[in-house]
Amino acid sequence: MPLTHNDNLFQSSATRLIGKGLGAGAAGSEPLEADAAGWRILEGEVSLPVAVLRDSALQHNLAWMRRFMDAYGVELAPHGKTTMSPELFAMQLDAGAWGITLATAPQVRDAYRHGLRRVLVANQLVDRANMAIVSGLLADPDFEFCCLVDSAANAQALGAFFAAQGRRLRLLLEIGVAGGRTGVRDEAQVREVVDAIAQWPQSLALVGVETYEGVLKDEAGIRALLRRTLATLQALRVEGAFAEPRALLSGAGSAWYDVVAEEFAEVARDPGVRVLLRPGCYLTHDAGAYREADARIHASNPVARQLAEGLRPALQLWACVQSRPEPGRAIVGLGKRDAAFDAGLPLPVLRYREGDAAPQPAPAHWRLAAIMDQHAFLELADDDDLRVGDLLCFDICHPCLTFDKWRHLLRVDDAWRVTGVVRTYF
Amino acid sequence: MPLTHNDNLFQSSATRLIGKGLGAGAAGSEPLEADAAGWRILEGEVSLPVAVLRDSALQHNLAWMRRFMDAYGVELAPHGKTTMSPELFAMQLDAGAWGITLATAPQVRDAYRHGLRRVLVANQLVDRANMAIVSGLLADPDFEFCCLVDSAANAQALGAFFAAQGRRLRLLLEIGVAGGRTGVRDEAQVREVVDAIAQWPQSLALVGVETYEGVLKDEAGIRALLRRTLATLQALRVEGAFAEPRALLSGAGSAWYDVVAEEFAEVARDPGVRVLLRPGCYLTHDAGAYREADARIHASNPVARQLAEGLRPALQLWACVQSRPEPGRAIVGLGKRDAAFDAGLPLPVLRYREGDAAPQPAPAHWRLAAIMDQHAFLELADDDDLRVGDLLCFDICHPCLTFDKWRHLLRVDDAWRVTGVVRTYF
């Protein structure tokens, strides 16, 4: 289901791009989108810092995940909260994704406006204005939507609201664990929620079961949660609790999707079940927690091993050395306003000086020691040759909280020439 | 110097607002800006979470800081990187600010587009695209601009670039401390930079001296840095290093502006010196580091004591309880995508349930234990009465990293009715 292209209403080559990390237009003004293709990062044609997406890595990651999902017979509903970018959603759908997962009603509205018509919200819908947003979108019969529920109180509120609107909301029962985040903890809670939904047959439809295993850190606990989720699905099928012939079963964040695929592969062959996995960070990957997850997956999962190379970091930041006030210290124009810092600071991987033929690998001992709103502190050896004006390229840790610092990211080829602009809507 | 109103090109009541934390338009669509005034947060008319600015607190803080600066005879160039909001810049200028401080060239371009014509960039300008942005804006003779320099290498690069453009760039020499961030460390570095600037009389103009004391944590060290900065200014005046008859002297972040005012008050009476202080967070304040700073200032500064009440937190977040899966735990629809988390998690201050006459104070033992991208974990007592659908209001710690999560914030009166929309440009 590709995106329709009413997104063209909102972006055309005549659009003036506003913000940071863009090329300069005529006389320093905001550039036109039409001017973007061909900007050269290394030639000083783009304001630094800039967030870039490497086309080659994006294409590799899209193909990798498609092959992985196909091998298990499961479908991909990548979590779009990571990027909130209609252009990237379109790439994911073109690469075979069933639909896009989102976290909030405003995210759904933004994605719908750009043409998305199949959404799983992996979250509860609780306040009235957010219910109104979803209800409004359900006026479109081509819009396919479901969200989570984990309490009778929420089911009653949703039932009453959507009954008043004359709409029917499709729901997945969320299964959680003690000490975890959302989701029912036990059989009694399952019963309460299912019974509450059943009181609103005109306005609520239970269509499946969902879990998010990422709140757990140990594989045994994760497998137990997944099996409990699957058992709940099967029990509810037996009792006829689902409103549609094909029940949805969904799990998987970006760290444990391999284990979820393994656990759900068998039921995915049942024509009465559709399995949807929701990793979102695979598209850009990172050099932090998801690189570690990738290493674990390649060590333990046979399909991943067959695919040989794992995911590649596609999202990087270029920034400029702005001060060399002391030996052993460089101040870089890159800060908390530009990069995630909650799961590891950005990692310097390349250096470039005007006149160099190409960027060189950054020495392995270079590291960021601290980061402020607009500055990063790079530690290096006292006699390292790094000058004011030199460029540095950083890998990032945690793509979600890097994407939301940028309203545009630039797609680049392997020579760091811009191939296109990607928008975000946070 | 008020903002001119060419910002009307970019915002009118017919503008459709896009994003989160807004009211629902007709049938859940994006609302018109004209619809915003009167939205009631407590009546479920705004999508949660939402970031709000209390008008009464903004007005109090604007008046407070104006009286404080006037008492010391210094001028205010508030750091606009905090909010990046043209509407808030206009309020600050209307309340007497000399101009606005910014951190980057794209910030300057955005603020210029909204009418700002007097900017101090408290940062070095290092890469070519950013130089081009500033050079383009300097074509406007009404645009008053200066930025920092702390190395001969940067001075040479700027001199060559602006000479080629036929423009002249005004510079402040930045004074720093060993182990700190940017800024010259000693007399030898001062000499090098001043001599390098002097090589480009057509394209560079040294117009003052600047420091940022916020990299230090102890008052004695801060006073020593401020005195060294002042001594450097006076020595450069004596040798005739400044290109303009009135030299600029600038310091002060949001935590130590009182000490800077005390140290610079005397020279502020010299008609040959203009003192510019740059606190930015005073406008919205917070319930974290700046509340602590406020307490210190009130304990030690005589002017602040005379002003009686200190600054008030103006920026708050409303969010909704989305799950009560276990006793003692509530999951709130508020996350790292919505609030700063680097200097303390948001603090629950009010609770509201549909039908209540007004919000009530949140119990003092309620606190956030953790925060994820889209969720917060609230700890409470096992028998506390908090339900799915209840609303919570949070104070925040660190306004800068909260503002940059929102493209719009809603101004509200004391009954949480919306009075207007404030845009941000990050």
Q: Where are the domains of chain B?
A: 5-54+312-423, 56-284
The pLDDT of residue A25: 75
Is the predicted ipTM greater than 0.90, yes or no?
A: yes
> What is the pLDDT at residue B417?
97
**What local confidence, expressed as pLDDT, does residue A424 receive?**
97
- Among B133, B389, B425, select the one facing A153 at the smallest CB separation: B389
Q: What is the pLDDT of residue B133?
A: 96
E strand segments, B125-203:
144-149, 169-175
Across the interface, whether the CB atoms of B150 and A24 are under 8 A apart is answered no
Mutation site for B-interface testing, chosen from A50, A109, A342 by largest number of B Cβ within 10 Å: A109
B205 vs A: CB within 8 A: no
Q: Which of residues 279-298 of B touch A (CB under 8 A)?
A: none
pLDDT of residue B191: 98
Mutate to test the interface with A, among B135, B177, B317, B373 (most CBs of A within 10 A): B373
Do B5-54+312-423 and B56-284 share a fold?
A: no
Coil, helix or strand for B32? strand
Q: What mean pLDDT do residues B415-424 have?
A: 96
- Rounded to the nearest angstrom, the minimum Cα separation between A62 and chain B is 23
Assigned fold of B5-54+312-423: Lyase, Ornithine Decarboxylase; Chain A, domain 1 (2.40.37)
pLDDT of residue B3: 53
The answer to whether the CB atoms of B113 and A30 lie below 8 A apart is yes
| CA atoms of B174 and A409, how far apart (whole Å) | 32
pLDDT at position A6, please?
41
Distance from CA of A104 to the nearest CA of B (A): 9
Give tens-digit pLDDT for B74-110: 999 999 999 999 999 999 999 999 999 999 999 999 9
Write the residue in B130, B139, B325 that is nearest to A182 by C-beta: B325
pLDDT in tens, B171-185: 999 999 999 999 999
Among candidate residues A208, A275, A211, the one with its CA nearest the CA of residue A242: A208
Residue-by-residue pLDDT tens, chain A, 426 positions: 445 434 433 445 678 899 999 987 777 788 888 889 999 999 999 999 999 999 999 999 999 999 999 999 999 999 999 999 999 999 999 999 999 999 999 999 999 999 999 999 999 999 999 999 999 999 999 999 999 999 999 999 999 999 999 999 999 999 999 999 999 999 999 999 999 999 999 999 999 999 999 999 999 999 999 999 999 999 999 999 999 999 999 999 999 999 999 999 999 999 999 999 999 999 999 999 899 999 999 999 999 999 979 999 999 999 999 999 999 999 999 999 999 999 999 999 999 999 999 999 999 999 999 999 999 999 999 999 999 999 999 999 999 999 999 999 999 999 999 999 999 999
Q: Which of residues 9-48 of A touch B (CB under 8 A)?
A: 18-24, 26-30, 44-48
Chain A neighbors of B333, CB-CB under 8 A:
104, 123-124, 126-127
The per-residue pLDDT for A12 is: 55
Residue B266 phi, psi (nearest 5): -65, -50
| CA A1 distance to own-chain centroid | 19
Question: What chain A residue is nearest to B45 in terms of C-alpha separation?
Answer: A129
In sequence order, the 6+-apart residues with CB closer than 8 A to the CB of A45 are A23, A24, A39, B128, B129
Any B CB within 8 A of A321 CB: yes
User: What percentage of chain B has pLDDT greater than the value 90?
Assistant: 92
What's residue A246's pLDDT?
98
pLDDT at A38: 92
Query: Taking CB atoms and an 8 Å cutoff, what residues of chain A touch B331?
Result: 181-182
Whether B30 and A113 lie within 8 Å, measured CB to CB: yes
**Does B154 contact chain A (CB < 8 Å)?**
yes
HEC profile for chain A?
CCCCHHHHHCCCCCCECCCCCCECCHHHCCCEHHHCCCCEHHHCCECCCEEEEEHHHHHHHHHHHHHHHHHHCCEECCECCCCCCHHHHHHHHHCCCCCEEECCHHHHHHHHHCCCCEEEEEEECCCHHHHHHHHHHCCCCCCEEEEEECCHHHHHHHHHHHHHHCCCEEEEEEECCCCCCCCECCHHHHHHHHHHHHCCCCCEEEEEEEECHHHCCCHHHHHHHHHHHHHHHHHHHHCCCCCCCCEEEEECCCCCHHHHHHHHHHHHCCCCEEEEECCCHHHCCCCCHHHHHHHHHHHHCHHHHHCCCCCCCCEEEEEEEEEEEECCEEEECCCCCCCCCCCCCCEEEEEECCCCCCCEECCCCCEEEEECCCCEEEECCCCCCCCCCCEEEEECCCCHHHHCCCCEEEEECCCCEEEEEEECCC
B188 contact residues in A (CB cutoff 8 A): none
**CA–CA separation, A329 and A42 (whole Å):** 23
Test mutation, A148, A322, A392, A416, chain B, max B CBs within 10 A: A322
| C-beta atoms surrounding B16 within 10 Å | 12
Judged by CB atoms closer than 8 Å, whether chains meet at A389 and B154 is answered as yes
Q: Give the lowest-confidence range in A167-181, A245-259, B13-27, B33-47.
A: B13-27
- Give contacts of A341 with chain B, Cβ < 8 Å: 342
- Res B12: pLDDT: 55
Query: CA-CA distance, B83 to B71, in Å (whole number)?
Result: 26
Residue A83 forms contact with B (CB below 8 Å)? no
Pairing of strands A329-332, A347-352: unpaired
Asked if the C-beta of B139 comes within 8 angstroms of chain A's C-beta atoms, the answer is yes
Q: Which residue of B has its CA nearest to A424?
A: B19
Quick one: A56-284 is in which CATH superfamily? Answer: Alanine racemase (3.20.20.10)
Residue in chain B nearest A322 by alpha carbon: B126
Nearest CA in chain A to B186: A325
Closest approach of A281 to chain B, Cα-based (Å): 13
What CA–CA distances, in Å, run from A365 to A226, A347, A379, A390, B240?
41, 11, 8, 17, 44
- Residue B382, SS3? coil
Supply the pLDDT for residue B25.
Answer: 75
- Kindly indicate the confidence band of residue B33, based on its pLDDT and cuts at 50, 70 and 90: confident
Q: What is the pLDDT of residue A4?
A: 45
pTM for this model (two decimals): 0.96
- Of the listed ranges A66-80, B18-32, B241-255, B323-337, the one predicted with least confidence: B18-32
